[in-house]
Amino acid sequence: MFEQAKRMQALTSAVFTQVDDLRKAEVAAGKDVITLSIGSPDMAPAPHIVEALKNSIDCCFNYGYTLSKGVPELLDAIAKWYRKFGVELDPETEIHSLIGSQEGLAHIALCLVNPGDIVLVPDPGYPIFSAGPLVAGAEIYRMPLTAANNYLPDLTAIEEDVLKRAKIMILNYPNNPLAATAPRSFLEEVVAFAKRHNILVCYDFAYSDLVFDGYQPDSFLAVPGAKDIGIEFNSLSKTYNMAGCRIGYVVGNANVISILGRLKSNFDYGIFYPIQQAAIAALTGPQDCVSETAASYQKRRDIIVDGFNELGWKVDRPKASMYVWAPVPTKQSSFDFTVSLLQHTGVAVIPGSAFGNYGEGYVRIALVQSESRLTEAVSRIKNWLSYSE
């Protein structure tokens, strides 16, 4: 028998695994399951992105190690793309490609924290925000995100003894799982706070372009002084429907990016060249596909929000992301409600408890099915809730 390392004890995928096992059991039993649990885009990349990938794959010289932080054309493309947020980046020192933004979020704590250091993470929060620091031996301080505070952490509530040991703060807006957004005034508060306490801010901006109703989010790096204490992670997974390609990037503080780059040079050999070419095509090509993707998610959001509100399940209308964060409409726990929903309606969602203690009482609904399937999901839930009453 081989025992797992102690560092593995802090990692768990129990809730996600349990929900998926239950979903598979329903499918195996012949039930038509509408899967709104995993946030994997169901739309395809635009044709010009696929064409760039095909053309590059045909070249037999593109199959070796790339051994770089990104080919120069990719780094330049990222720098130019970021100008739409009012952010100027040096491709040589302030950008590094990642094998998906999650990979960078997983590794950043290994670069900067020692056992016993504290990392400030949001609760509810995407699991990698805690998993990476825990593997690095850090202690986690969970910042509650509540509706009462517009799903923003109360920085003034963090104790002084915590701040003395804190090395990193992780933030994520537009948010997964909450679909919440952050005003620029809050980002300005974060910059001042981080400078005062010498904390690195790691800002997850993966949903920067899945925005609705004319809303435009601010890049954290657009705030004056943010580069002094911050880095920002972004990805092509959601914006360009390239989740399986595993390509993202980190931008911002040159010193931190250099340290992360040194770790990566020991861990991996770069991103497959044809995928980098597809990313270049995505970032530099026609951007109609981005607005079309966002418009599709907006229509899907409206089907869920309007449908649920009509049947008495009151949910907020998010301005961004690919999720709806919904309060549990029964007296059950979020997990028990998720199981009941799946077994009675064939609709799979994720219980809020999977994202932290403050997620209890909610479920996350991923808008990753067609409009007709979402309409069907609303109809099934309406019939079930009406029958339950």
pLDDT of residue 11: 79
Reported as a pLDDT band with limits 50, 70 and 90, residue 22 is very high
CA–CA distance, 248 with 266 (Å, rounded to integer): 19
Mean pLDDT of the chain: 96
- 275 near 45, Cβ under 8 Å? no
User: What integer pLDDT is reported at residue 385 of this predicted model?
Assistant: 83
Q: Residue 10: its pLDDT value, please?
A: 76
Q: pLDDT per residue over 117-143, tens digit each? A: 999 999 999 999 999 999 999 999 999
Residue-wise burial string across 324-351, b where 16 or more C-beta atoms lie within 10 A, e elsewhere: bbbebbeeeebbebbbebbeebbbbbbb
Position 388 pLDDT exceeds 60: no
Q: Which three-class secondary structure state does DSSP give residue 251?
A: strand
Q: Distance of CA 278 to CAs 101, 281, 289, 379, Å?
A: 16, 5, 14, 39
Q: Binning pLDDT at 50, 70 and 90, where does residue 48 land?
A: very high
Whether 167 shows a pLDDT value over 70: the answer reads yes
Average pLDDT over residues 152-181: 98
DSSP state for residue 149 in the 8-state scheme: G
**What pLDDT does residue 312 have?**
92
| Residue 278 confidence (pLDDT) above 80 | yes
Is residue 24 within 8 Å of 257, Cβ to Cβ? no
pTM for the structure as a whole: 0.96
| Residue 389's pLDDT band (cuts 50, 70, 90) | low
Q: What is the rounded average pLDDT of the residues 4-18?
A: 81
